Amino acid sequence: MDYQFKEIEKKWQGFWAQNQTFKAEATSDKPKFYVLDMFPYPSGAGLHVGHPLGYIASDIFSRYKRLKGFNVLHPMGYDSFGLPAEQYAIQTGQHPAVTTTANIATYRRQLDQIGFSFDWSREVRTSEPGYYKWTQWIFMLLFNSWYNLETDRAEDITTLIEKFNAAGNADVKAVCDEDVVSFMPSDWATMTPEEKQIILLKYRLTYLRESTVNWCAALGTVLANDEVKEGYSERGGHPVEQKKMMQWSMRISAYAERLLQGLNTIDWPEPVKEMQRNWIGKSVGASVKFPIAENEGFIEVFTTRVDTIFGVSFLVLAPEHELVSTLTTAAQADAVNGYIAQTKKKSELDRMSDTKTVSGAFTGSYVLNPITGEKVQLWIADYVLAGYGTGAVMGVPSGDQRDWLFAKHFGLPVVQILDSQTNIAEQADPTKEGKYINSGFITGMTYAEAIPAINSWLEAQNLGKAKINYRMRDAIFGRQRYWGEPIPVYFKDGLPYLIKEEELPLLLPEVDKYLPTESGEPPLGRAESWSYEDQYTYELSTMPGWAGSSWYWYRYMDAMNPDRFASEEAVSYWKDVDLYIGGSEHATGHLLYSRFWNKFLKDMGYVNEEEPFKKLINQGMILGRSNLVYRVIEADGKATNTLVSHGLKNQYKTTALHVDVNIVDNEILDIEKFKLFRPEFADAEFILENGHYICGVEVEKMSKSLYNVVNPDVLIENYGADTLRMYEMFLGPLEQSKPWNTNGIEGVFKFLRKFWRLFHNEAWEFNVSDAEPSKAELKTLHKIIKKVQDDIERFSFNTSVSSFMIAVNELTDLKSNNKQVLENLVVVLASYAPHICEELWQLLGNPAGSLSYAKYPVFVPEYLVEDEFSYPISFNGKTRLNLNISLSLDIPAVEQYVLADEQVQKYLEGKAPKKMIVVKGRIVNIVI
């Protein structure tokens, strides 16, 4: 029979489902291997051709690892809480759970027909109570924990209470809020439970904090920075304002150093690691207190160049700094208030684009240089950010270009501090070279000497100390939305308390509408008779999108467990994810939060690995490839009913229109289908070239509105899943972004037919030979065995596809139908094109389905050994001819053989070669 992909694929997909072929074993003598895909948000649009790219790669890898004898865990699930379902619910009144379930069904159908080897018995959905029970449980664990800097790990809150009982909080080294006041054990003993709770909240790893958020009144929710565009919400275009709100936060900053150090232990793409390093933003420096001249107070400054403190000629506060109002003198009040007002008016965008203009205002107050006692002016300026460091900066114009510009603009002094600084009249020189001048007790020292000298001096005077600063802020953990995990907290007298563990999961209540209440409370405020013990109000915000995805890889290990997020046995068997594939857009969000929760769970003894994802691969984005037609415009700007082919469009004035890529083949427009697609052009005139209408091409993102979405269902219908899988890989390196172009898919389809034909005779009857394989056949086979295993292990899937084509071409040329060779080839190809291989495997006489757990053939190098090599002979690096020379000849013998050749003599033109390079089995180069 000819290659009937539809029947074959249906048959084997049914077989795998029925026999649970890909169910991972809970325990096994085999080594474990955990292959994970970033699970999708099930959107209403379904999958387009770009989504499965990473899944195909991970599936090939999983199938390959099974053939290599591993117990493979390869699960899939859905990140099913999210804003789009909620938006849709607001518009239609349909419960998000209903639309989500329907969307998941579509995803499942689409995934199934691609032939993935997922273990569906472990499927997770973050919006199911059985799953989010454990997300809530982790939240409770965080609430009941604090970060002990002495042990450098999170601990149960009871160990903190013990410390308070024994010695108060003075000696406690913990990550906590900045405003904790110190107390004695006797104070602690006399506190009310409420007072104790207030203090403990300042230490808990999840805590309430007043934060400035992007509040969108129309949506009734808080938006992330990237959901806000120029002061309006990206979705809907509603105005967004800055608002202070009490919000749940996660003390991720406690883990900053460990998150940074851990990057050195994992095999991730360097750009992702770099992004995380920037996000964490560690800077080593010192914190310095500048006494205020007018009162007893201090202004604290963070600096990475404490060695330049003798060059300080002014101090700058952020306009939002809390001391600005008290330190502004009456004479300067107008200037300062005017400047603050002006800063507020500037949009985020203005402040960003306008980095060259120098602006600021003098407060009228002075501070004292803590070392020299010199009086320097105190300014405010918007180049200092309230949110970073202490919101105050010491101005050293000779060493910092921004300070230099500021000083020049406002006529403040520029003091040279290093003898190696040059040209400071023109610009700042940030050098660390040379010796200090004009610098008090560090004059004459080098940079390396000065830093510790100043730090110890400051510390002795209690005016500062060495400090490490991180840019990373604690993560806000509440959203004013409906479709997310409820936070398992209730309020009593304004203080938050956890519900009891046995009361989990706290179910998402039903509401009449998915909108905020009239009083501006989140949608959960609409739930009727929803209170804790019928009297206390629950927390009304829900968890953010990243909550459910920050631990889901553990749930897959033991997805059905009702008593624990995953059993201890499962966690210690599967350990961590060996290979994680997903998009780089999650570089600083999901991947950072997941590492944080993983480290926390390890501290608390629930998991065993410090890092969750050993190896990470980012698949590139598949871009859309749009097709355009060109409508002729008359001189007066009126659109005509004439369309001109791409090659002739420069002879006319035209506008481009997007046309559905599915009615274009190799840029040739199907005019009849086009007339149906755009009925207004039913009578249009087409100006053709060579009898065809040729469309223009543009690469942009894949989107319905650009008519460039290619649906995998259509390709599977026409060519089958095996062709789709191989073609997606054939497109290019996995990690590279590339436009989708269906044009080449025929080549892959032809390859599979050609492969099928190797097993069949002219009449399409199955026909293989039991003969001993020839040397040539074995060579082809072992070449591909080696090539594919090398390629898969370095994630170079595209090159394997070419090699398969070469192998099948070679066997076709050899007219080979050797059973032994073909059976091995089936196993090698099985990870890429599993359906056709299962079918052929069975036709070869093997038990149905046993291919998935067959043995990957062993590569035997001897079959590739050649006794001759066709040496390229080059002269001065230019190849002129090839000579077949025995590989048994040693280098001098090769030289002799080459020089004796008639053609070589011709190129030498009688001259003696100056030099001869012979690389055995590679090349001969003659220098003349």
479 vs 787, which CB is nearer to RNA?
787
Q: What tokens were used for 893?
A: 């013998």
Residue (of 611, 475, 600, 606) closest to 154 by Cα position? 600
Separation of alpha carbons 600 and 799, rounded Å? 41
Going 787 to 793 to 794 to 795, the CA torsion angle's sign is positive
Q: How far is the CB of 727 from RNA (least distance, A)?
A: 9
Q: CB under 7 A: which stretch of 125-133, 211-219, 498-506, 916-924 binds RNA?
A: 916-924
- Per-residue 3-state assignment (H helix, E strand, C coil) for 819-878: HHHHHHHHHHHCCCCHHHHHHHHHHCCCCCCHHHHCCCCCCCHHHHCCCEEEEEEEECCE
Q: How far is the CB of 871 from RNA (least distance, A)?
A: 8
132 vs 871, which CB is nearer to RNA?
871
In 41-144, the DSSP E strands lie at: 71-73
386 vs 445, which CB is nearer to RNA?
386
Residue that has been written with the tokens 């001391």 in this structure:
323
Q: How far is the CB of 798 from RNA (least distance, A)?
A: 5
Contact 321, 386 (CB under 8 A): yes
Q: CB under 7 A: which stretch of 34-42, 712-720, 760-768, 873-881 binds RNA?
A: 873-881
Is 870 a binding residue for RNA by CB under 7 A? The answer is yes
638 vs 815, which CB is nearer to RNA?
815
Is 908 exposed, middle or buried (CB count within 10 Å of its CB: 0-12, 13-18, 19+)? middle
163 vs 305, which CB is nearer to RNA?
305
Is 431 a binding residue for RNA by CB under 7 A? The answer is no
Q: How far is the CB of 484 from RNA (least distance, A)?
A: 23
Task: Give the DSSP H or E segment for 633.
Answer: strand 622-633
The residues near 343 (Cβ < 8 Å, ≥ 6 apart) are 319, 351, 382
Q: What tokens were used for 551?
A: 């631990």
Separation of alpha carbons 507 and 127, rounded Å? 10
Contact 370, 349 (CB under 8 A): no
Selected binder of RNA within 388, 410, 652, 677 (CB under 7 A): 388
Is 271 a binding residue for RNA by CB under 7 A? The answer is yes
Selected binder of RNA within 150, 354, 503, 569 (CB under 7 A): 354
Selected binder of RNA within 266, 323, 336, 394 (CB under 7 A): 394
172 vs 873, which CB is nearer to RNA?
873
- For 35, 50, 74, 276, 618, the CA distances from 54, given in Å and listed in that order, are 11, 9, 13, 22, 8
Which ranges in 461-532 belong to alpha helices (H)? Answer: none
Is 44 a binding residue for RNA by CB under 7 A? The answer is no
Q: CB under 7 A: which stretch of 170-178, 246-254, 256-264, 742-750 binds RNA?
A: 742-750
Amino acid identity for residue 172 in this structure: V
Is 886 a binding residue for RNA by CB under 7 A? The answer is no
Contact 630, 649 (CB under 8 A): yes
Selected binder of RNA within 7, 194, 274, 868 (CB under 7 A): 274
Is 268 a binding residue for RNA by CB under 7 A? The answer is no
Is 292 a binding residue for RNA by CB under 7 A? The answer is no
CA 42 to chain centre: 18
334 vs 866, which CB is nearer to RNA?
866
Amino acid identity for residue 263 in this structure: L
Residue that has been written with the tokens 């090599």 in this structure:
869
Is 874 a binding residue for RNA by CB under 7 A? The answer is yes
Is 212 a binding residue for RNA by CB under 7 A? The answer is no
Q: How far is the CB of 570 from RNA (least distance, A)?
A: 35
- Return the residues of window 778-797 that contact RNA according to CB under 7 A: 787, 790, 796
Q: What tokens were used for 407?
A: 């000083």
Q: CB under 7 A: which stretch of 80-88, 281-289, 437-445, 850-858 binds RNA?
A: 281-289
CA 225 to chain centre: 17
DSSP 8-state secondary structure symbol assigned to residue 662: G
Q: How far is the CB of 893 from RNA (least distance, A)?
A: 18
Q: CB under 7 A: which stretch of 164-172, 487-495, 565-573, 874-882 binds RNA?
A: 874-882
Contact 833, 804 (CB under 8 A): no
Residue (of 488, 503, 494, 497) closest to 541 by Cα position? 488
143 vs 797, which CB is nearer to RNA?
797
- Return the residues of window 721-740 that contact RNA according to CB under 7 A: 730-733, 736-738
305 vs 602, which CB is nearer to RNA?
305
Q: What tokens were used for 115?
A: 């032939």
- Phi then psi for residue 392, to 5 deg, are -140, 145
Is 229 a binding residue for RNA by CB under 7 A? The answer is no
704 is in an annotated binding site: yes
- Return the residues of window 645-704 that contact RNA according to CB under 7 A: 666
Selected binder of RNA within 262, 311, 319, 391 (CB under 7 A): 391
Contact 479, 547 (CB under 8 A): no
Q: CB under 7 A: which stretch of 14-22, 141-149, 718-726, 747-755 binds RNA?
A: 747-755
Is 884 a binding residue for RNA by CB under 7 A? The answer is no
Selected binder of RNA within 744, 764, 769, 892 (CB under 7 A): 744
Q: What is the number of other CB atoms lying within 10 angstroms of the CB of residue 590?
A: 18
Is 278 a binding residue for RNA by CB under 7 A? The answer is yes
Contact 699, 624 (CB under 8 A): yes
- Binding to RNA by CB under 7 A, coded x per residue (else -) over 297-336, reads -----xxxx------------x------------------
Please tell me the count of residues contacting RNA according to CB under 7 A. Answer: 77
Separation of alpha carbons 117 and 96, rounded Å? 29
Is 754 a binding residue for RNA by CB under 7 A? The answer is yes
- Phi then psi for residue 136, to 5 deg, are -65, -35
- Return the residues of window 796-835 that contact RNA according to CB under 7 A: 796, 798-799, 801-802, 805-806, 809
- Phi then psi for residue 439, to 5 deg, are -125, 40
46 vs 430, which CB is nearer to RNA?
430
Q: CB under 7 A: which stretch of 457-465, 745-753, 850-858, 893-901 binds RNA?
A: 745-753
Is 612 a binding residue for RNA by CB under 7 A? The answer is no
Contact 205, 142 (CB under 8 A): yes
625 vs 631, which CB is nearer to RNA?
625
Q: How far is the CB of 387 from RNA (least distance, A)?
A: 7
Is 760 a binding residue for RNA by CB under 7 A? The answer is no
Separation of alpha carbons 325 and 322, rounded Å? 7
Helices (H) and strands (E) in the chain, counts: 29, 36
171 vs 689, which CB is nearer to RNA?
689
Separation of alpha carbons 673 and 744, rounded Å? 22
Q: CB under 7 A: which stretch of 76-84, 199-207, 236-244, 386-394 binds RNA?
A: 386-394
- Binding to RNA by CB under 7 A, coded x per residue (else -) over 571-600, reads -------------xx--x------------
Q: How far is the CB of 743 from RNA (least distance, A)?
A: 4
- Return the residues of window 443-502 that contact RNA according to CB under 7 A: 469, 471
Determine the 3-state secondary structure of 763 from DSSP: coil
Residue numbers in the known binding site for ATP are 704
Residue numbers in the known binding site are 704
